[in-house]
Every structure is written in structure tokens, then in C-alpha cells.
Structure 1
Amino acid sequence: MNIVKETTVPTRTLLQTDAPLFDALVRYANSETVSFDVPGHKMGALNTPFRDAIGAQALKMDVNSMAELDLLSHPKSVIKDAQELAAQSFGADHAFFLINGTTVGIHAMILATCKPGETLLVPRNCHKSVIDGMILSGVIPAFMQPEVDDHFGISHGVSVENVAQALREHPAAKALLVTYPTYFGTMTDLKSICELAHEAGVTVLVDAAHGAHLKVLNKMIDPIQAGADLVTTSMHKTGGSLTQSSLLLLQGNRISADKVRKVTGMLQTTSANYLLMSSLDAARRELVLHGAEAFQRLKPIVNEAIEAIELGTHYEVLKNENVSTRFLQSQDWTKLVIRVNGLGLTGFEVYSLLKQRYGIQMELAEGYVVMAVITPADTEISIGHLTAALLDIERTYTKSHVLHSAWTVVDSVNELVMTPREAYYAEQETIAIDDAIGRISADTLMIYPPGIPLVIPGERITCEVIQHYTYYEQAFGSVLSGSKQTGSVTVVKGGY
């Protein structure tokens, strides 16, 4: 009798040159499958203006979950492999694909680590999504004051000393959230912060929305290297993937991977978009294989641009030596933060001039600054175009005085009267913001971009909040709120 021995096919070692999900999706799109499943456009079967605009191949790749393309909520094949490669590339133990941006990653981090009523230490210049995560989870925020740069009119990261003080004042805190880097590219000493927090038994969460590229930048420390437990990073912002696609990275055993997987499954759609997920896979490969070389090529070009921009003395660029000397932090040079109030103009005015007169879309404006984001997609030509436009603005629009304002930096922490969740569910009314002094906000008033709050649900509205609101609304119309009417705010009914 012949005995047939069972043989197993050895698992192929995954390499960073692979893009398993992206390649599988392309194969399926080119397979000429006849679609009787959703989505209803049937892989772009109809010739429509939308298909003409975005391309037939893009619609062929917009498909539903199936055996050969895996399932995000329970990955077993190509999505699992793509997530493992993402984890390896960042030095993490696990990576989870996010198709609702870093916003959903921040919500997941908070829900995975904190129970209702527990304390979360958080910088005051956190993103709106952190506030929404507090409402969803029922946690109690304990705010830490970031370092304020009055010269540039912006806030940087939270100092090690402020974190240490917060840990002493809140010994029962469950988690600490740090923004690293900040929207303006500044980075606190995250390694020391992680060590302090872990000694106190506190889990470290990092909003690294603007730091997907740090791993491939020379002499930069990314959050996983620094020792963070959970990190959310926007690959779409600086890593090259499609808008709305991000990664949630986990390392260590302070939080279980199963818990994170369960929370992300609750928060994300069961119809995950394959264009977004495959773009994460493809962008990770490009960043690992070519990112370091691309940024190395761009660094001298940016340095020459900075010299040219600063030559006329009306501009000043935020540089590592400034941040290091004054705040003991470091600066990501790919965030080109340009102080423009020496022209006698606000950052909002220069932002508008660059768009309307020169066709240049900047990332943001603040009272004193505009900011450009440099990525591997930039060239000597694109950076030269920005430099030439700034110099032309200097020649054409400079006024005889330097502009100063008392309201360029939000540097106060308001009194927290109720938890954000309590205020959100309380009976509410909408009133004119000028009548809101002393009332308890049921709304988040935030400056967007970058999405930093002036006041959050549960905080008392002060005269200073209203003055900041008025400044930003008049300067740029950039204050967002839940109220439909400009100049109005939603408050807790009867709450004083």
C-alpha cells in the first residue's frame, strides 16, 4: 500500500519590495471578471463623465471584499500580509489599515486604552478628533500646556517638564496623548516622555498625523523608536497614499492587538475601500525603497530656498536651531514655516496672495506665518516657484510696519465644568457668541486648519475665547463650530 505524505507549501518571506494587496487588486481589476456584486458601478461598466475624469482603471479597482482580496475586519491573506509589511517598515509589532483617516485612529487609541471616567493627559493644542474621542469614550481630560512661541505666533510640543508635572498631579491617569510632530513640525523629547509615562504605569498614545515620513528622514526619531505604545499616522499627508488612508501602529504588550482590532472593527465600515487600502500598501513600498533618497535630494534645495527667502530680511523661516535653543525641541525641515508679519501682512493675507496671484496652494496660514509641506513629489522647480512668489510679494506688498497682534496664539486652558461627554448630551441652546461669556460650551470652536480648539464641550467660555474667535473669524473665516450660524455657539441650557 502506498502511503501518500501530506506536504505543506512553505510560507514565502515577505519583503519590503512586495506590495501584496496592491498587486492582488491590480490583477483582479485586469481579470475581466463579470460583476454581479456591489459597488453598483460594476467596475466602471458605464461610460460616464466621472469615469472619464478619474480613469477607467480606478473604477475597476473600486471593488468589494472577496476571497482573493481579503477582508479588512478579519484579514487572512493579502491585507494581512500588507499590514505585516507596514508594521515591519515602521518597526512596530502590528499595523492596522485605517480608511477614515487618523481621526478614526485617535478615536480607536482612546477607546482601546481608557474606560469612562478615567483620566487622559493631553496637550491643549490637540486636534479636534481627540476631543471627539473624549466624548465617545467618556474620559476626563487633563490638559497640558504646550510651549508657546510668541515670535512665530504658534505653539510647539509639550515639554518634558510639563508632562512630568501632569503625571505628578494626576497619578491615576490611564493614558497620555502626545502630538508628535506638531502640525508645524516641532518635536518634543518623546523618548524621555515615554520613559516617564511608563515608569508611572501610563500608556503613551501618539498623534503622528504629520509624521509618516519621519522614519526615512536622516537623524529624526519616529514615535515607535521613541517607545510609544500606540501611534496613528497619516500616510496620506506625508507618506504618499490617498487622502483618508492612515495607519495605526502598536508595539509592546501594554495594549493587546485583539483589543485594538476589535475597536477598529467597531469604528470602521465593513465595506472598506480597496483604493485607499491598496494605496497604503503601495505608498509604504515607495517610502521604504525611495523615501530616504528623495528627501536627501530635496534637503539642499530647501536650504537654498530658505537662504533666498530670508535674504531680504522681511521673512524668517522656523529652523531647528531656533526650536532647539529656545524650547529644547527639534524641527522637521519638511515643514517650511515662514514668518511673514515682517511684511506688515498677516499670514492669512500672504496665503491668499499666493493662491490668487501665483497659483500656489499653501498648507495653512496663521496670524504670523504660512506653511508649505515638502514631500518627495516636490522638485527644484516647484520649490523655486514658491521662492520666487514670496520674493515678488516682498517687493510688491511690503508695508512700512511689522504686524503684531495679541490673538495669534491660543495659550490658555479654560475651566472644565463638565466632562465633554456630559456637555454633549446635556440640554442645549444656540446663542450669539458675544452673549456667551460665562456659559458652558456644548460645542467645539476650533481653528481649521489645523483643527485646534478654542473651547471644547464642558468648558466655560471666557472673554479671551470670544476675542480669539473674533480675530480668526474676521482674519480668515477659519473658525469651525457645530452651530450653523457664524457668530453663534451652542451652550448647555441653564449652565453657568
Structure 2
Amino acid sequence: MMNNVHDLVASKKTLAEQDEMPLFAALVRYAEQEVTPFDVPGHKMGAQMNPLKEVLGEMTLRMDVNSMEELDLLSHPQSVIKKAQELAAAAFDADHAFFLVNGTTIGILAMIIAVCKPGEAMLVPRNAHKSVMEGIILSGANPIFIQPEIDYHFGISHNVSVSKVKKAIDTHPEAKVMLLTYPTYFGSMTDLSEICRLAHERNITVIVDAAHGAHLGFMPGDLADPISAGADAATISMHKTGGSLTQSSLLLLQNDRIPPQKIQQALNMLQTTSANYLLMSSLDVARRELVLYGSKQYDELKPIVEEAIKTIESASNYEVLKASYVKNQYNQAYDWTKLVIRVNGIGLTGFEVYKLLKEKYNIQVELAEGYVIMAVITSSDSKESIDRLVFALKEIESRFGKQMVVMSTNVTADLVNELVLNPRDAFYAEQELIAIEDAAGRISGDTLMIYPPGIPLVIPGEIISKEVIQQYHYYCETLGNVLTETKEADHITVIKENV
């Protein structure tokens, strides 16, 4: 791939092309016409005044329209959507790009369904997102879980190591597909280039959940994005770090291992037929902004973040996760835009600091865990916004900090649950609802999940261990709830024992 803003923008012709926003421009043109709509949506381009129009404005509702000839059709793009997707593919140095309006979740489901047949083995990190587990259920794949690197000091998981991936490939020659998370939720990046090389030697297709890596190819330095690293397909959440509207993502495809028509077919099965044009046009705009300005913005941000880290740690018991630490301890790269701050050294949990930041300083960080909080930095941040976070953290330590270190055995899961039933078979098996206290040793028919980050404690087909139950209670006590498929508190769905 191109270095930084991609070498592609060195070409004046290509730069001029990337300055275009074909879908966004067509949508604005349509909204500015004096159209009398007798199609859906029923608000008729905001014809009536209501609270939605008062807050969002007339133009927003005029741009919320239906598919038509001049605005193209997402399920069968021929004109402006096709052109916008081609520009997105060029921006990320991919062969094909597909607009997603149901988030990266739908891209992950489509990738899995397109490449993995029922019963085929798929290598997966156990700290994969819930959507990956759902893709496994939908496809009927047999998951082979790889344990990520566990960081007990920060209380989080990093990426899977190359050595563990190589062992999994050697141990399971039947594997047809490998799914990797890159970067992880907390910003760690394994040597994806080497893993792709190892996988492709065995004719294993590599697909990537790159939800948190839309910005990687536009940053200073040598951080590889998944396409340049050799992945066959990757789904990126442009709305997370790329600047588009929430729920809009891109699925990128390269090489010929996965036919593009297979991806399109899978997306058409899964994605709405009433694709939202505000979401799609925001992808058009965000792609342009990243290509034209992303590199400069991240160049300017990096020293600001570095100075902020020094200030946070100065005369303090905070500790910030850094690239040098991740490299030395786990031999992985690290995305510095994920500001992971270890707060248990000031005698508070991450959950307590998260709450204090919001209630006392009106600062919303991305998430909390037992030992850490995480703030996501994007090109939309500034010295002023980052300084506000730094000030609040320093004041929290001085006002609320305690002379102790918070420690808990429940912060980090370090065991892979035993999978005894294919997740799809478990999903369709006869089930019953029981108290979670009585569930140890039973086969789960449910997913227990903390969101964010959306990594399940247990999935259908896994044995529910005592450790899972302990973690469930830990998160219920600290967060207030754990997401489950059942609506009854402190209960879980399990497979009936005669199955």
C-alpha cells in the first residue's frame, strides 16, 4: 500500500480524482431540486415541521431519500455509488470496496458467509467481536480459537502472536479461513504481513475485522493497514475513526481468493434494501477528507498526544500504554491513537474514573475496564480537547485518588472456554433457562457480553465455567449489567442435558 496518505496522492491526477464526491454531490443536487415526492420515505423530504426537522434542519431530511435512477442502488451499483466505491477502493489500495450501512458487523457476517462453508474450520482469536461469533453461527463454520496475548498489568488482551497462529495452522491443516482482529480494540497489531504469508502458503483465506483501523494507512510512521499487509478482505468502521456517520463502514477486497460477486451476494442477503443515503454519502465525504488531509492532521496530532502522555504520567500513578511497551512485552505494534490509561494505580477502577470523567467534567471516553480507561483520538481532536482530558485526569487523581492499587483476579480472562458443540448446532438445539449460579459445567446456548468492547465471555456451544460465572458477577457489580440474549436477570440459556 501507499505510505502515509498513500503514495497514490503524489499523482496530481489521482489527487484530483480523490477530491471528487460523486454520491454526495448527486445527493445534494437532488435535495436542492423542487421535487414533489410521491415515493418513500413517508416524511416526504421533511414536508412537515416536527421536532426532527427543527433539530436536524430541512436539508438533512431533503437528503434522506429513496433509491432511484439518478442516485443509484446499493445492491446493484451502476453509476454514482459505483464511482464512489471505486474511489474508496483506490483510497485504500484495494481492488474493490463495498459501502455498508449496517455497520462493520454486516461486513464481518458477509465475509464469513462468503468464504466459509458449513462444517469448514476457521481459525479465530478468542477475543474476537460478538459479530464474528454470530457469523460463525450463520455460516455453520467450526471455529478453532486462538488465545490472544494476555496483559495482566493493564488487565487487557492484546493481539494473537505469530507463533500461536503458526502453531494453529500446523495443528489444523483442515482450516480454510482465518479471521483476525487488526488492530484490537485496544490498538495492538500483530505481524499481519507474516501471518498472511503463512496462511497463503497453506491456501488459507485471510479476512480481517479492522473496525478500529480506518485511519491506519493515513498515519505517519510504518503502521501497516490490513490491505497492504496482504489480507484478502477487511472490513473497516469508517464511522469509528474515519469521520463518517455512525453505522457506515467499508468492506475492502483484494486478490482473487474471494470473488467480488460472492461478497455482493452475501451483502444483498444481509443488508437492508433501503440503504440510507446520508450514511452512504458520509462515506464519500470521509474518504475524501482522509486522503486529502488525514496525513497532515495525524502528523500534527502525534506530538500533542506524546506531550499529553508525559503530562498524564508526570508526578502521577497513572500509566499510559505505549508502543515501546507493547513491542518489548508482546512483539506487536501499537496504534497511538488509542489512549489506554492504567488508572488502578491511583486506587480507583477504570469504571470509577470513567464515571467521574462524565459526571464531574462532562468528558465521555470510549470505555472502561477494571484497570484502564480508553480515549480514542481521531483527526477531529485538537490540543484543546486533549488538554481538557489531561486536566481532568490530573484533578481526579488529586481529588479522588487513594493510596492503594486496585487489583482483582476477575479483570482479565485468560482461559479459552471448552467448545464442545458447534455454535450453530448449539443455537438450534433444544434449550432451557436456568439461574446462572447453577450453570457451571453446562453447555451455553447464550452469549454473555460486555459492551463495549463486545467480546463475549461465553458463546453458544462453550462450557460455562466457574470463572465465566465469576466474571459475570464482577461486571454486573462494576458496570451494572452484562448483555445477554435472555431478558431475565441472573439467568442464562443452556442446552438441555439430553441433547
Calculate the TM-score normalised by the size of structure 2. Answer: 0.96
- The Cα of 1:487 is off from its aligned counterpart by 1.1
Gaps of 5+ in 2: 1-12
- What is aligned with 2:336? 333
- What is aligned with 1:323? 326
- What is aligned with 2:480? 477
Counterpart Cα distance in 1 of 2:146 and 2:423: 17
1:403 has 2:406 as partner: yes
Counterpart Cα distance in 2 of 1:495 and 1:268: 37
Match of 2:73 among 71, 74, 83: 71
Q: Deviations over 1:26-57 (max 9, x none)?
A: 01000111111100000000111111111111
Match of 2:31 among 21, 29, 32: 29
Q: Deviations over 1:122-147 (max 9, x none)?
A: 00000000010011110010000100
5 Å-filtered alignment, 1:232-381, equals 232-381=235-384
- The Cα of 1:389 is off from its aligned counterpart by 0.3
| 3-state DSSP of counterpart to 1:454 | strand
- The Cα of 1:230 is off from its aligned counterpart by 0.6
- What is aligned with 2:89? 87
Does structure 2 retain, via aligned residues, the 8 Å contact 1:229–1:254? yes
- What is aligned with 2:489? 486
| 3-state DSSP of counterpart to 1:388 | helix
5 Å-filtered alignment, 1:165-184, equals 165-184=167-186
Percent of aligned positions with the same letter in both sequences?
A: 64
| 3-state DSSP of counterpart to 1:232 | strand
Counterpart Cα distance in 1 of 2:328 and 2:123: 26
- The Cα of 1:495 is off from its aligned counterpart by 5.5
| 3-state DSSP of counterpart to 1:479 | coil
Give the letter for the 2:497 counterpart: G
Counterpart Cα distance in 2 of 1:21 and 1:133: 30
Counterpart Cα distance in 2 of 1:16 and 1:478: 45
- What is aligned with 2:4? none
Give the letter for the 2:390 counterpart: T
- What is aligned with 1:394? 397
Give the letter for the 2:291 counterpart: V
Pairs aligned (count): 485
- What is aligned with 1:4? none
Does structure 2 retain, via aligned residues, the 8 Å contact 1:449–1:478? no
| 3-state DSSP of counterpart to 1:372 | strand
Counterpart Cα distance in 2 of 1:334 and 1:21: 30
Does structure 2 retain, via aligned residues, the 8 Å contact 1:119–1:139? yes
- What is aligned with 2:7? none
| 3-state DSSP of counterpart to 1:85 | helix
- The Cα of 1:478 is off from its aligned counterpart by 4.5
- What is aligned with 2:99? 97
Counterpart Cα distance in 1 of 2:247 and 2:405: 39
Q: Deviations over 1:175-225 (max 9, x none)?
A: 000000000011110000000000011000100000000010112110000
- The Cα of 1:427 is off from its aligned counterpart by 1.1
| 3-state DSSP of counterpart to 2:213 | coil
Q: Deviations over 1:205-259 (max 9, x none)?
A: 1000000000101121100000000100000000000000000000000010111
Give the letter for the 1:259 counterpart: K
| 3-state DSSP of counterpart to 1:430 | strand
Counterpart Cα distance in 1 of 2:338 and 2:315: 21
Counterpart Cα distance in 2 of 1:174 and 1:91: 25
Match of 1:425 among 425, 428, 440: 428
5 Å-filtered alignment, 1:11-50, equals 15-50=17-52
Does structure 2 retain, via aligned residues, the 8 Å contact 1:448–1:478? no
| 3-state DSSP of counterpart to 1:253 | coil
Which sits farther off after the overlay, 423-432 or 236-245? 423-432
- What is aligned with 1:163? 165
- What is aligned with 1:211? 213
Q: Deviations over 1:40-85 (max 9, x none)?
A: 0000001111111111111000000111100001101000000000
Counterpart Cα distance in 2 of 1:80 and 1:377: 28
Counterpart Cα distance in 2 of 1:68 and 1:170: 50
Counterpart Cα distance in 1 of 2:365 and 2:315: 21
- The Cα of 1:457 is off from its aligned counterpart by 0.0
Does structure 2 retain, via aligned residues, the 8 Å contact 1:445–1:453? yes
- What is aligned with 2:202? 200
RMSD: 1.1
Counterpart Cα distance in 2 of 1:463 and 1:201: 39
- What is aligned with 2:135? 133
Counterpart Cα distance in 2 of 1:338 and 1:257: 41
Counterpart Cα distance in 2 of 1:78 and 1:445: 42
Does structure 2 retain, via aligned residues, the 8 Å contact 1:218–1:292? yes
- The Cα of 1:297 is off from its aligned counterpart by 1.1
Q: 1:495 to 1:364 in 2, by over 3 A?
A: farther
Give the letter for the 2:470 counterpart: Q
5 Å-filtered alignment, 1:426-465, equals 426-465=429-468
Give the letter for the 1:366 counterpart: E
| 3-state DSSP of counterpart to 1:205 | strand
Counterpart Cα distance in 1 of 2:414 and 2:454: 15
Match of 1:52 among 54, 61, 77: 54
Counterpart Cα distance in 1 of 2:390 and 2:377: 13
